């Protein structure tokens, strides 16, 4: 193991919304999605609750394919997204002006 990343909760597990997700606290969120095969998707949302995000991901995958598992990475002030220029749609930085610099990073690279 090279490192750990605190994350959670799971939003979708085996294509079903995880029970007990919060319905009350909307926030900007960063989410990691997997189709169960070789497709991954990472994104940043507009303000929403964990329960609403779980329902949306279980019903209709953001990239046009079914979501098998989805993990909430963080919300609020820690939600930041940077996409490099070598990725379709990049370069892109989504960081509110009021946000402090995020010190923890998750990088997805092809093998």
Look at residue 59 and tell me if it is in a domain: yes
Torsion on CA atoms 36, 42, 46, 52, rounded to nearest 10: 10
Look at residue 107 and tell me if it is in a domain: no
Look at residue 110 and tell me if it is in a domain: no
pLDDT at 80 over 60: yes
Q: Which residues make beta-bridge pairs with 77?
A: none
**Per-residue pLDDT, 17:** 97
Q: Do 40 and 108 meet the contact criterion of CB atoms below 8 Å apart?
A: yes
Global confidence as pTM: 0.76
Residue-wise pLDDT for 12-57, tens only, equals 999 999 999 999 999 888 899 999 998 888 888 889 999 999 999 9
Count of structural domains, the chain: 1
Look at residue 106 and tell me if it is in a domain: no
Residue span of the structural domain in which 16 resides: 10-94
Look at residue 2 and tell me if it is in a domain: no
Look at residue 101 and tell me if it is in a domain: no
Residue-wise pLDDT for 85-110, tens only, equals 887 777 777 666 656 666 666 666 66
C-alpha–C-alpha distance, residues 85 and 76, integer Å: 25
Residue percentage of the chain with pLDDT more than 70 = 70
Instruction: Calculate the average pLDDT of the chain.
Output: 81
């Amino acid at each position: 193991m090279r490192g750990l990343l605190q994350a959670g909760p799971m939003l979708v597990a085996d294509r079903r919304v995880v029970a007990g997700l919060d319905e009350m606290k909307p926030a900007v969120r960063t989410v990691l999605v997997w189709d169960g095969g070789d497709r991954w998707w990472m994104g940043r949302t507009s303000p929403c609750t964990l329960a609403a995000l779980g329902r949306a991901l279980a019903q209709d995958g953001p990239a046009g394919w079914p979501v098998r598992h989805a993990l909430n990475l963080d919300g609020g002030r820690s939600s930041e997204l940077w996409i490099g220029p070598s990725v379709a749609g990049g370069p892109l930085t989504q960081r509110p002006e009021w946000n402090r610099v995020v010190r923890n990073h998750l990088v997805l690279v092809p093998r």
